[in-house]
């Protein structure tokens, strides 16, 4: 079982996940699955394990506690629990992501916040955890704090762009919430007539689609049983082969394939330069047109000879073309993808 529980403070994440963990272990023990007699590991970042340990003691299930927020401890903890435990409960995954980014910022002296290029390393390292999480044969339940997703929308009345909430997410690395097979949003609500607090669980994602979209009041293990019954409990777990990649189809810099591609792009951009001038009625056929061509070449390509431009490297030609496009069209040039969409900075996934 790979489950994720998220919510605000006091929403019932820790107690609900603990009850599910206890119920799952008892369910496995009833079916004689050997590893169910091993202890449950609790990776604790906010002392929540102390408050649910009596529940495990009452159920006769041994709990091993580790209290840390260091991301460096996260993957080793999963590996340790897989060797010696029956289940791992992580509460809260949010703290590991926060600690990791803060440690990186300190090490790189990022006093004004992380920079764009920092995220490539952070996300690559975090993927070490998500790969282990997905592929481990261990049952793992992780809790995380809830955050909000935002987007800009244009106000039809005043035409201004306004920032609005568009959804919720688990507060960790952006893609963490996609990894669990069942993702649960916990909320605390007050019944005003009875003055009684209730905890409500919303199933945001459930891959067997047996309780997907369901809503449970004060949820218990039995609410999640339809999902658990369909798991391959005690059987072999086939994970994702993360050793395979596409390195072989990516040409090395300087290879024949890479040279051919860059040469094709050179010729394309040379033609784009000529076409751009033609669009604006600039031609070397007349004396006036020839003077305009020479002036533009000198300004944007630092030469007055077209034949010399033809000898330039691809990056030099593209730089000159971008500058020329900005002057003649009054706007920067954006390359088109195969789907026709302009590639801009906002398209880079975070």
Using a 10 angstrom Cβ sphere, with 0-12 exposed, 13-18 middle and 19 or more buried, the burial of residue 249 is: exposed
What are 325's two structure tokens? 């496009």
For 39, 42, 65, 124, the CA distances from 62, given in Å and listed in that order, are: 5, 11, 10, 35
Q: How many CA atoms lie within 13 A of 144 on its CB side?
A: 27
Binned at pLDDT 50, 70 and 90, residue 187 comes out as very high
| The pLDDT value given to residue 345 | 34
Q: Is residue 248 pLDDT above 70, yes or no?
A: no
Q: Are residues 42 and 156 in the same domain?
A: yes
| The pLDDT value given to residue 350 | 36
Residue 126: CB atoms within 10 Å = 22
Cα 213 versus chain centre, distance: 23
What are 116's two structure tokens? 């764009």
Q: Is residue 344 pLDDT above 50, yes or no?
A: no
Domain assignment present for residue 239? The answer is no
The mean of the pLDDT values for the chain is: 86
Domain span including residue 66? 2-228
| The pLDDT value given to residue 163 | 66
Q: Are residues 25 and 121 in the same domain?
A: yes
* Overall pTM > 0.85: no
What are 62's two structure tokens? 């041994």
Q: Are residues 264 and 159 in the same domain?
A: no
Domain assignment present for residue 247? The answer is no
Domain assignment present for residue 241? The answer is no
Domain assignment present for residue 121? The answer is yes
How many domains does the structure of the chain reveal?
2
| The pLDDT value given to residue 249 | 57
CA–CA dist 277, 324 (Å, integer): 9
CA–CA dist 4, 25 (Å, integer): 17
Question: Mapping DSSP to helix (H, G, I), strand (E, B) and coil, where does residue 71 land?
Answer: helix
Q: Are residues 166 and 29 in the same domain?
A: yes
Query: What kind and span of H or E run contains 272?
Result: helix 256-279
Q: Is residue 125 pLDDT above 70, yes or no?
A: yes
Binned at pLDDT 50, 70 and 90, residue 22 comes out as very high
CA–CA dist 219, 187 (Å, integer): 11
Average pLDDT, integer, range 271-295: 90
Residue among 149, 171, 201 at smallest CA distance from 19 = 201
Average pLDDT, integer, range 119-135: 89
Residue 252: CB atoms within 10 Å = 9
- The domain boundary, picked from 194, 228, 262, lies at 228
Binned at pLDDT 50, 70 and 90, residue 342 comes out as very low
Strand-pair category, 196-206 with 215-217 = antiparallel
Query: What kind and span of H or E run contains 329?
Result: helix 314-329
For 262, 282, 321, the CA distances from 297, given in Å and listed in that order, are: 22, 12, 10
| The pLDDT value given to residue 170 | 83
Beta-bridge partner residues of 161: 154
Beta-bridge partner residues of 183: 4, 205
Cα 247–249–254 angle (5° rounding)?
90
CA–CA dist 291, 277 (Å, integer): 13
Q: Are residues 166 and 209 in the same domain?
A: yes
Average pLDDT, integer, range 237-261: 67
Strand-pair category, 87-91 with 196-206 = unpaired
Radius of gyration (C-alpha) of the chain in whole angstroms: 29
Lowest mean pLDDT across 78-87, 163-172, 223-232: 163-172
Mean pLDDT is highest, among 119-128, 168-177, 334-343, for 119-128
Look up the CATH number of the domain holding residue 208. 3.40.50
């Amino acid at each position: 079982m790979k489950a994720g529980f998220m919510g605000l403070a006091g929403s019932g994440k820790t107690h609900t996940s603990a009850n599910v963990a206890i119920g799952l272990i008892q369910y496995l023990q009833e079916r004689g699955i050997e590893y169910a007699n091993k202890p449950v590991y609790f990776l604790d970042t906010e002392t929540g394990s102390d408050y649910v340990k009596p529940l495990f003691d009452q159920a006769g299930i041994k709990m091993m506690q580790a209290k840390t927020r260091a991301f460096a401890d996260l993957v080793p903890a999963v590996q340790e629990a897989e060797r010696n435990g029956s289940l791992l409960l992580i509460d809260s995954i949010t703290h590991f992501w926060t600690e990791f980014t803060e440690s990186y910022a300190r090490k790189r002296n990022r006093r004004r916040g992380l920079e764009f290029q920092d995220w490539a390393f952070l996300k690559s390292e975090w993927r070490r955890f998500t790969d282990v999480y997905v592929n481990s044969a261990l049952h793992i339940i992780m809790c995380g704090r809830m955050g909000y997703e935002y987007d800009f929308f244009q106000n039809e009345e005043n035409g201004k762009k306004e920032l609005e909430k568009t959804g919720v997410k688990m507060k960790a690395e952006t893609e963490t919430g996609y990894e669990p097979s069942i993702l649960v949003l916990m909320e605390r609500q007050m019944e005003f007539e009875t003055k009684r607090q209730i905890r409500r669980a919303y199933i945001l994602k459930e891959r067997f689609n047996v309780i997907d979209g369901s809503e449970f009041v004060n949820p218990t293990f039995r609410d999640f049983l339809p999902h658990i019954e369909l798991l391959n409990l005690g059987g072999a777990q086939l994970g994702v082969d993360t050793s395979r990649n596409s390195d072989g189809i990516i040409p090395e810099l300087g290879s024949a394939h890479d040279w051919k591609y860059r040469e094709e792009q050179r010729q394309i951009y040379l033609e784009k330069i000529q076409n751009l001038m033609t669009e604006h009625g600039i031609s070397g056929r007349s004396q006036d047109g020839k003077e305009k061509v020479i002036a533009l070449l000198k300004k944007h390509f630092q030469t007055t000879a077209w034949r010399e431009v033809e000898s330039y490297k691809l990056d030099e030609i593209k730089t000159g073309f971008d500058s020329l496009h900005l002057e003649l069209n009054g706007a920067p040039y954006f390359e088109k993808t195969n789907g026709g969409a302009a590639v801009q900075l906002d398209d880079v996934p975070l």
